[in-house]
Amino acid sequence: MTTDYSQVPIIQGAYQLALDTQRLVARFPKNFRFQIGDRLAWMTQDFFEATVKANFIRDAALRWKALDALSAEVFTIRMTVRMAKDLKTISNGQYTEVISRVEDLHKQLTGWTKWTQSKIPRGTGHESHHQPS
């Protein structure tokens, strides 16, 4: 772990996603801003906060569980962004930009999860669990 947590790439990316989402949601039509918009903003904020917290978990098995849960969050964010596009609250260009950031975070999360799983001692029962895709 680094001592300057703001310089960890996945934390930087999660922060930027949350920030960009707040700005994007502010421009949603009023009838969607307080429904899907608020939900999406909270999801990305929660993802950012959970990413920061996961970085502080020293026990590899516990960190792996936290990262595994984050993988589901990435999928939920991805599908909610798609819904926002389908509802025409964001343009195709905005969708592409946000999804690109989400996919980049997913790749980083997958790498971090695999690395963390490799640090779990054999025989703890965690080494045979599925790895998030």
Residue 126 has pLDDT above 90, yes or no: no
pTM: 0.86
Name the CATH architecture for the domain at 7-118: Up-down Bundle (1.20)
The residue that leads in pLDDT, 106 or 8, is 106
Instruction: Determine how many CB atoms are found less than 10 A away from the CB of residue 80.
Output: 18
For tokens 């895709």, the residue is 133
Q: pLDDT by residue (tens digit) across 28-86?
A: 999 999 999 999 999 999 999 999 999 999 999 999 999 999 999 999 999 999 999 99
